[in-house]
Structure 1
């Protein structure tokens, strides 16, 4: 089973008229790069101008939501190429899947003072698109007013909707305490309850606001995809349906914000024109036109940029700071971010009526979503876009260096935004450390000591029953290595018992690669240590050798040896060089000579 085909959502009906110019595009231009060289079945979103009856028995339609301009299918590359011949088909792209981005903080942003003044978010709602919610948790006090579930289903992919289907609407639809959420005594669906508690729990930012809980994740029981026995992933098709559902609800009830604490590929620039961006941005724009800003976690890759979909220009991208307004070491940062908010050691609700402490930009985003609920309850006639600008104008400036320039990103101060108080004085982050001296070329054996960034830990406090503390969990973020390793050295590191880097850190790096790369694991599996080792050791075939070099390059990025903007291959940046190499790898027209050229440059 391939990672990017885990879920295929299909839509047979369309709301837009046919566009002759698009219908005349060559079929190859309609296929996303890489689909033509895929050798297995692919889960894909097919955008259509008018309904397209699928007659090919080799094309399985797995989802047909009504009144949507797309359908989701599962098919081979050849069958997708034939489907693209139909003039009613506008484009075909992978149905991508995204993982979750993993309260003294209420005082940091001034929410406690807002509560004392009588502003609690009452009369507003916050939509939480996440892993569901603990419906009877005392944090929520009966304020969950709507529930829905859009959870993709496929081979090895299980719906998290309580009814076992791909869609469920109504009370109980977003329940996070179902058997499907359990694995070895652990609740896999904890994330959404924690996020909802920050935004609108009794101890959260907007304790008077209502909650709209939408389950958008699916359970994947595939170690080769997850790098562990099971994991949760949100597929693009599920997000599209969920956002349309919230947009429809906005016509009947006030919704102050939609929160997305999940993320995919990091980007240093706006991703509006990416394959995914062209699909998701119109949904965000439609919500904003209805008064509902989309607040998105910026990502935990420690990059100068934001992960998808926070990199979309109309999303509200939120990075993480600690309670002293220092940028969290794991947080993305830079001009793409709209706001910072507390995201280090944030205590909130988790299933089974408990609370837990987690860190991540996932925890920062709901501080902003809750703040918008407070503002909207105080200024109901002000547009969502203007309320976002008010938060940005009144936030405490955090200044730092990014991309060789000074950047200032406001840390949310909701009380100042409510009362029009002056901004708090700026806080300056220390500048970057000097570049290390050039190292001698690496040998065949690892010569460096990797020291991943110390990460915040997770502790669990049981509020109803006494239980042993849970094992600490860390934020998966990039490391701080100073030297790059060769392909052969990475193979040694991944070999059990031979390398110096702990397996936990290596698995974290592979998860980061999975989010950042177009090749892994869309075309080539490398989610587990065993699979990654085989990719690194492959020596037969130009594409296989290029895969090994690309995986080593991405591991060097994940370990911190390179940033996206680092000089690479002599005359370009890491992002530009690796991006061009992946484009060549994904093109069926690339010759052996071209593949060898990119292997030499990347390797």
Structure 2
């Protein structure tokens, strides 16, 4: 492989691609080829401005760059492949209202989390939340937050400029009994990974970098309340790497009301795919559903934390996913030795059958007490 030829090809291609805002992921099959390319890139990027926008995705031996190539250069054929670095969005419906009601939200009660708190509160379980960041000043979260990382601006903390990440974090780990809300696992630790901008948009490469950070910093479980319709082989490789490293990813199915298919990354086998239910214990009309769903959880009219110390009601499979992530934190606090495969089996086997069950609805609804009882057999 001629690394210099590839670097020159990237210089030419990135100049034109930057104007169109398109990005690609270039992944190397051979670790030696990837290492050789990275060395060349380090040497050339100071001299060539277009190369400065190339980001390394070491977890999967790839780079992300403002590039949409027609053809690979000859020295890359058979040694690398490329795919478009697709944008994706967080999974939430239009915002609900700001509310003043506090206490234990209905979803947290519904999955019977409070009944488990005499045994487990998620103490010291590390939860990565790849999202829009978090409100570090929120009184419901100040005892639950660790530093995390801002992947968009590395020199700044992962402060939430959207609200979605704060809402997700509140359902998982809020701990303000007197004036705020209580989350599913109030003594777990949230590590916010800001990969999404203020519009709730990120590229696949941002998510891969977030997964890489979570693996390197030994998260126990990762919440990914977002998705896309496109299958990404690069993202699949990152998800699989996390799974085999002992880091379980919980992902939302999407809010398009589709029957028969769900969004990626929830659609990958090595995630826990989550759909949403409502107060009547029925599948919410907005949730995507298919046999790929592993479990359903409350996702309709969920009250949680919101920036500037507020609380907001929101709906979406994002909200359902955070209930499942919190429940897994409760489980891991009791049984930290459980593998991702064992956790997924426990969550699925202990789920409570839904009302008006049909053949398509193979999955049941999350129930913490049933889950803990099932885990006692491991």
TM-score by length of 2: 0.80
Q: Report how far residue 415 of structure 1 moved.
A: 1.2
Q: Report how far residue 58 of structure 1 moved.
A: 10
Q: Residue 296 of structure 1: SS of its match in structure 2?
A: strand
What is the CA deviation profile of residues 487-515 of structure 1, one whole-angstrom value per residue up to 9, with x for unaligned ones? xxxxxxxxxxxxxxxxxxxxxxxxxxxxx
CA distance in 2, matches of 1:100, 1:336: 20
Matches within 5 A, 1:146-225: 146-151=147-152, 161=153, 167-168=154-155, 173-176=157-160, 181=161, 189-202=162-175, 203-219=182-198
Higher relative contact order by CA 8 Å / sep ≥ 6: 1 or 2? 2
In structure 2, relative to structure 1, the CA distance for the partners of 1:408 and 1:351 (3 Å cut) is same
Name stretches of at least 5 consecutive residues in structure 1 with no aligned partner: 1-17, 19-38, 152-160, 162-166, 182-188, 220-230, 267-273, 422-603
1:127 aligned to 2:128? yes
Q: Report how far residue 401 of structure 1 moved.
A: 7.4
CA distance in 2, matches of 1:124, 1:82: 46
In structure 2, relative to structure 1, the CA distance for the partners of 1:395 and 1:83 (3 Å cut) is same
In structure 2, relative to structure 1, the CA distance for the partners of 1:281 and 1:82 (3 Å cut) is closer
CA distance in 2, matches of 1:406, 1:140: 38
CA distance in 1, matches of 2:88, 2:75: 30
In structure 2, relative to structure 1, the CA distance for the partners of 1:387 and 1:82 (3 Å cut) is closer
1:307 aligned to 2:260? no
What is the CA deviation profile of residues 512-558 of structure 1, one whole-angstrom value per residue up to 9, with x for unaligned ones? xxxxxxxxxxxxxxxxxxxxxxxxxxxxxxxxxxxxxxxxxxxxxxx
Give the CA RMSD over aligned residues. 2.8
CA distance in 2, matches of 1:372, 1:84: 46
In structure 2, relative to structure 1, the CA distance for the partners of 1:232 and 1:417 (3 Å cut) is closer
CA distance in 2, matches of 1:66, 1:264: 20
Other-structure match for 1:413: 367
Q: Report how far residue 346 of structure 1 moved.
A: 0.4
CA distance in 1, matches of 2:215, 2:131: 16
Other-structure match for 1:42: 22
What is the CA deviation profile of residues 152-192 of structure 1, one whole-angstrom value per residue up to 9, with x for unaligned ones? xxxxxxxxx3xxxxx34xxx62112xxxx3xxxxxxx1000
Q: Between Structure 1 and Structure 2, how many residues are aligned?
A: 329
CA distance in 1, matches of 2:237, 2:331: 25
Q: Return the match for 1:240 from 208, 214, 219.
A: 208
Other-structure match for 1:349: 305
Matches within 5 A, 1:91-130: 91-102=81-92, 103-115=105-117, 117-130=118-131
Q: Report how far residue 64 of structure 1 moved.
A: 3.0
Other-structure match for 2:80: 90
Q: Residue 332 of structure 1: SS of its match in structure 2?
A: coil
State which structure, 1 or 2, has the greater radius of gyration over its C-alpha atoms: 1
Q: Residue 127 of structure 2: SS of its match in structure 1?
A: strand
TM-score by length of 1: 0.51
